[in-house]
Amino acid sequence: MPKPRFNGKGITLLLGKVFENPINKIVMNKRLPITAYLLFVGTIAFAQITFPPGGTNRKASVSQRIGITDVRIDYDRPIVNGREGKIWGGLVHYGFADLHYGTSKAAPWRAGANENTTFTFSTDVLIEGKPLKAGKYGFFIAMGPEKATIIFSNVSTAWGSFYYDSKDDALRAEVPVVKLTDSIERLIYVFSDETDDAAIVSLQWEKVKIPFKISVDLEKEQIAAFRREFNSGIFYRYWQNMQMAANYCLVHNINIDEAIGWAERSINSYFGEKNFSTLSTYAGLLEKKGMKVKADSVMQNAYPLATTLQLYSYGRGLESQKRNAEAIAVYKLSYDKKPDDLYSLMAITRGYSLQGNNKEALKYANRALTYAKNSYFEKYAEEVIANLKEGKPI
């Protein structure tokens, strides 16, 4: 296709055909005010349409939920492009430097390409053990051969680090620089080593990885979430929500006073229900407050409402707390309630085992095996039987 040539009258193709330039027509109309002309020219010059990004960089984002906290990273991905051995200390300067553009005389690396790399946290977090409030932050790195300083800035809308100012820092932390065996061609951020309340984030590029830990105070954030939902109407519409919130506090031994209120409402409010789950949770919280007599009274009302699975699970919970005598009583209650049931048979098996009577335990374990309806329960019953035959505890 012939290339266009531009002149004052229009766009002339090499073939000689002329397309009239719309700006020429406006200029020739002498009655058009100059302000309107400038506005029109400005529109043509700066109107934007969508194209893929130019150059070799690519936009990317990655997110991860840690506990109930959402963490999102938005960044641009430069490539090595044959520059192995020239990235660190070369293309990416070490420490803080005057980039001879913008206002910063001591700029770190932008930790990516183009505009700010940003981190967004839906709740408060800890970066390498240091507290950082919920929000969106610009992210920079002052690189070094062995260690790097990661920087979270309150300014998240900059282009690169040309205008970086340390007064805007929200957090700094020193982290190791890890050497990689294999080269990473295009820069990437990766989440790894996830637990219930933490994850490792690492920037990886060429043969270098810069890892750091993001953690959350999960118990604190979970209670805060319960309180927010308390005001939403969702919380009290279902007894299950109130019971689960109260039981979370019971299991983690936190926020007991408020949890007792939630547990009471799960039983007695308009949407409440008296069942084994609500009553046993309430009883457990009362016992945490030293109100054992009242707790025992509540449990006496709870036991008749329990399924054999609930009694078996409750007994296992008592075992985990080393309350074996109470567990044995619950297991016997389950068997007396429904003797021809898989869970009741497994319960009484555990009860006799806790008393050191493996002979009786083995008798009930063999009966339980005949009630197993799937391979999982068959395998479990067989393992119990094998342990009992060898004189081992379950």
pLDDT band (50, 70, 90) for residue 233: confident
Note whether 117 and 210 are within 8 A (CB).
Answer: no
**Confidence band of 15 (pLDDT split at 50, 70, 90):** very low
Q: What is the DSSP letter of 80?
A: -
pLDDT of 344 over the 80 cut? yes
Low-confidence winner among 59-73, 82-96, 220-234 (lowest mean pLDDT): 220-234
Same domain, 198 and 329: no
Tokens representing 227 are 């309180």
Q: Which of 218, 221, 213 is nearest to 126 (CA)?
A: 213
Judged against a pLDDT cut of 60, whether residue 29 lies above it is answered with no
Same domain (yes/no): 274, 331: yes
pLDDT of residue 54: 61
Query: How many percent of the chain have pLDDT more than 90?
Result: 78
The answer to whether residues 225 and 209 belong to one domain is no
pLDDT score, position 41: 44
**379-392: pLDDT as tens digits:** 999 999 999 999 88
Whether the pLDDT of residue 136 is over 60: the answer is yes
- In this predicted structure, the answer to whether residue 256 has a pLDDT above a threshold of 80 is yes
Instruction: Kindly give, in sequence order, each residue whose CB lies less than 8 Å from that of residue 274, ignoring residues fewer than 6 positions away.
Output: 267, 301, 305
Q: What pLDDT was estimated at residue 57?
A: 81
Give the DSSP letter string of 208-244: EEEEEEEE--HHHHHHHHHHHHHTTSSTTT-HHHHHH
Q: How confident is the model at residue 301 (pLDDT cuts 50, 70, 90)?
A: very high
Domain end, chosen from 165, 195, 216, is at 216
Tell me if 384 is assigned to some domain. Answer: yes
Cβ burial, residue 162 (10 Å; 0-12/13-18/19+) = middle
Classify burial at 247, counting beta carbons within 10 Å of its beta carbon; exposed 0-12, middle 13-18, buried 19 or more.
Answer: buried
Give the residue from 216, 238, 255 where a domain finishes.
Answer: 216
Q: To 5 degrees, how large is the angle CA 190–CA 196–CA 201?
A: 20
Residues 147 and 30 in one domain: no
Residue 325 domain-assigned (yes or no): yes
* pLDDT value at residue 236: 73
Regarding whether 377 and 268 lie in a shared domain, the answer is yes
Domain holding 385: CATH number?
Answer: 1.25.40.10
Q: In this structure, which long-range contacts are made by residues 334-338, counting pairs with CB atoms below 8 Å and at least 24 apart in sequence?
A: 334/306, 334/308, 337/308, 337/311, 338/308
State pTM to two decimals. 0.77
Kindly state whether residue 22 falls inside one of the protein's structural domains: yes
Do residue 148 and residue 204 come from a single domain? yes
Check whether residue 75 and residue 31 sit in a common domain: no
CB atoms within 10 A of CB 370: 10
Asked if 192 and 318 sit in the same domain, the reply is no
The pLDDT assigned to 27 comes to: 38
Residues 369 and 263 in one domain: yes
Q: Stretch 88-92: mean pLDDT, rounded?
A: 95
Mean pLDDT of 345-353: 96
Which residues span the domain enclosing 28?
4-46
- Residue-wise pLDDT for 144-156, tens only, equals 999 999 999 999 9
Q: What pLDDT is attached to residue 235?
A: 74
Average pLDDT over residues 28-34: 45
Do 81 and 31 reside in the same domain of the chain?
no
Read off the pLDDT of residues 272-289 as tens digits, 9 standing for 90 and up. Answer: 999 999 999 999 999 999
* Residues contacting 111, CB < 8 A, separation 6+: 75, 117, 139, 140, 141, 203
Give the bridge partners for 48, in sequence order: none
3-state secondary structure 108-170: CECCCCCECEEEEECCCEEECCEEECCEEEEEEEEECCCEEEEEEECCCCCECCCCCCHHHEE
Give the count of domains, the chain.
3
Calculate what percentage of the chain has a pLDDT beyond 70: 86
Q: What are phi and psi of 202, to 5 degrees?
A: -135, 135
Question: What letter represents residue 242's amino acid?
Answer: M
Any domain includes 91: yes
**Does residue 308 fall inside a structural domain?**
yes
Residue 51 lies in a domain: no
Question: Residues 202, 291: one domain?
Answer: no
Q: What is the pLDDT of residues 37-69, one digit of tens each?
A: 444 444 444 556 776 666 678 899 999 999 999
Residues 267 and 378 in one domain: yes
Inside any domain, residue 340: yes
Residue 137 lies in a domain: yes
Kindly report the average pLDDT of the chain as a whole number: 88
Query: In the predicted model, is pLDDT for residue 12 greater than 50?
Result: no
